[in-house]
Each structure stands twice: as C-alpha cells, then as structure tokens.
Chains A and B, each alone.
Chain A
Amino acid sequence: MRALAVLLLLAAPAQAEPVSGYDFLMPETQALQDDDFANPGLLWVDQGAALWAQEGCTGCHGDATGSMRGVGAHYPVWSDERDRIVTIDEQIDYCRTERLGLDPLPRGATDMTALDAYVMHQSRGLPVAVALDRPELTEAHARGEEYYYTPRGQLDLACADCHVTNEGMRLRGEVLSQGQANGFPIYRQLWQDIGSLDRMIRWCHESVRAAPPADDDPVWEDLELYLRARGNGLPVETPAVRR
C-alpha cells in the first residue's frame, strides 16, 4: 500500500501553485475576514494580547507588534536546544512553562489558541516562509507528505484526495480548497469558534472516519511542517475566516 502511494506520488503532476483558502470563499465571507473590526477571530487575538501582558511574555519579548513581526511565518522550526521540531503552539507553551514557570496548557485550550492567534496575527500579510534547510526538516517534511498522501479511515481517503486531486471541485455545497494552512488559527463558521491547525486536522480525520494520531505521536509535527511549508509564499492571514 505504501509503495503504491509513493508510486502514485511520483506519477502525480507537479504541485500546482499554492492558492489561499481565501480565494475559495464567497465574497461575503471574504468581506468578514477583511473587516478589521467584525472578523470574529479578532476576539481571540484580543484575548491573546491580554494573556501576553498578563502571563509575562513582555518580560523577554516586549511589545509583540514589533518583536513577533514575522516570527510565526517561519514556524515550525528545528530547535537545537530541544533536538526536535517545534510548532508555534509548542514554542509558546515551552516559553510559558520553562521560562515563566506556568502550568502547561492542555492541547486545544482556548488560551493556547488565543496566544497562537495573537503571535501569528503579528505576521499578517508577510509570506509564509518555512525553511527546510537541514536533513531533520526535509526528512520530517517527507514523512508529513507521505501521511498526506496515505488513504485512511472508513472512507479510505487521503488528505490529497480532496485537497490536491479534487481541488476546486465541489463536495456537496462546499468548494474544496487546497487545504492551505496560512490563515491558522482560523475562525470557522461551522464551529462558530476559533480553531488551531491541530483542531482542523482532527476535524478532517473525523470527516473521513479515521482516528487521529495519538497526542504524543511525532507525526503531528511532521504533518504541520508539511502543511505549512506547502503554503510557502502565501500571505499569513491570521485570523482567517473559513466556512
């Protein structure tokens, strides 16, 4: 099965130019995202700003509007200190626990997503620039890609079956986007709530009737690296509004 997936991968045409999920939205939804007041995701950006000051991030980083400009666009990165790939959420939580002595936030906690949204928001408009400049990163990227192209779940669908092969086609009333990650955390109208990339990946697993990887499985980092690097060059849109 795996060999077949790799063969299919080799046979597939070169990856199309990345297109943001924004371009697959209805004009009304685009207008909501572009509205600097009414974009509901900004509620969590505000919450993140409050936490930034309250939890003491300012002690090292000062005003995030300057110090965090462009930072989020490079994540996930390789950390020599920790000898592993680190996503933006993990870096924020590492700072909180190691440097500020706070309790770690549970995965998917609203405060975690709010901080993530606040940090990513500082890079809004800058191009996503995930570097794949060392073997650990290229290997992880390859593992993430393999995961992306591997069918799973009761529906036996790979991520790529929707977001590569059928991009731009309809799935019932929805237009399938490329599944780019440049707007995360997103305000999703279906959830009426903010969600990190982690939450979206879980939702996609549920949609193809598959169990998501275990929380401590390193494939989470591999997949996030692959997804973010896939959108290299697209502008960061956090907080994006999606259906």
Chain B
Amino acid sequence: MFNTRIRVPETAAAGEAVEIRAMIMHPMDNGFTYSTQGTLIPVNIITDFTCRYLGEVVVQVRLEPGISANPIFTFSLRATESGPVEFEWIDQNGDVTTASADLTVT
C-alpha cells in the first residue's frame, strides 16, 4: 500500500459533471537513472490505475515508465446516483493500493 490522496466532492446534483482527482506516492523509476553510487535503478512503476463508480469501471489507465513520480489523475465524472467512487492502483509486482470515497447525489 502506498500513500494516496483522493478528492471526490461530498455531494453533487444529479447529472452534474464533477471533478475527481487521485494521486499516489510512488517513485516511478524508469530504469534509466543511476543512484548516487553509480548503480542502475531498476524499473519500478505503477502499471494500472482504475476508477470505479457504482461498481462500474469509469476510468482505466495503463501506465508506462515514462510517467513521472507521484502520478496524479484528474478527470470528470457524471454523477447519477449516490454511491462509492473507488480507486485502485496496481504496481509491477501486483501489489494493490486502494482508496474510496462516497459521493452523495442530491
């Protein structure tokens, strides 16, 4: 589990497009850099990011080594019903980091 920061508005009007933001603390080592001791730092990245709303996948991203450290995703979501917004990050070793927040539609 890595540290994450997510922002989901607490409430939204039905049909409103709300801004969702999600960030994870991760070095995203691209395999081309060297440590101060001169040894190559191996590739170490998050490979998948998924956001689900009401259990349905709304955003799915495959990450590659060219993405900078601590990647942040910002996207719009059309609010329809009250329910959970769930985030999932998977790293190259298959370790899963999750976070979620509830969105109430008024």
With the chains together, A37 CA to B8 CA distance in Å? Answer: 11
Q: With an 8 A cutoff between CB atoms, is A185 at the interface? A: no
With the chains together, A192 CA to B70 CA distance in Å? Answer: 8
Of residues B5, B28, B68, B72, which shows the largest number of chain A Cβ atoms within 10 Å of its Cβ?
B5
What are the interface flags for B34-72 relative to A under an 8 Å C-beta threshold, 1 for contact and 0 otherwise? 000000000000000000000000000000000011101
With the chains together, A43 CA to B68 CA distance in Å? Answer: 15
Q: Looking across the interface, which residue of chain B has its beta carbon closest to that of A43?
A: B25
Q: With an 8 A cutoff between CB atoms, is A73 at the interface? A: no
Q: With an 8 A cutoff between CB atoms, is A46 at the interface? A: yes
B70 adjacent to A37 (CB under 8 Å): no
With the chains together, A192 CA to B25 CA distance in Å? Answer: 10
Taking the closest CB of chain A, its distance from the CB of B38, in whole angstroms, is: 14
With the chains together, A193 CA to B26 CA distance in Å? Answer: 9
Interface size on A, residues (CB 8 A): 10
Interface size on B, residues (CB 8 A): 13
What are the interface flags for A184-224 relative to B under an 8 Å C-beta threshold, 1 for contact and 0 otherwise? 00000000110000000000000000000000000000000
Taking the closest CB of chain A, its distance from the CB of B19, in whole angstroms, is: 10
B70 adjacent to A40 (CB under 8 Å): yes
Q: Looking across the interface, which residue of chain A has its beta carbon closest to that of B7?
A: A37
Q: With an 8 A cutoff between CB atoms, is B101 at the interface? A: no
B25 adjacent to A47 (CB under 8 Å): yes
Chain A contacts for B7, CB-based, 8 A: 37
Complex A-B: 22 CB contacts under 8 Å? A37-B5, A37-B7, A37-B23, A38-B74, A40-B23, A40-B25, A40-B69, A43-B3, A43-B5, A43-B23, A43-B25, A43-B70, A44-B25, A46-B3, A47-B3, A47-B25, A192-B27, A192-B28, A192-B68, A192-B70, A193-B27, A193-B69
The 6 A-B pairs at the shortest CB distance, nearest first, are namely: A192-B69, A43-B25, A40-B70, A43-B3, A37-B7, A47-B3
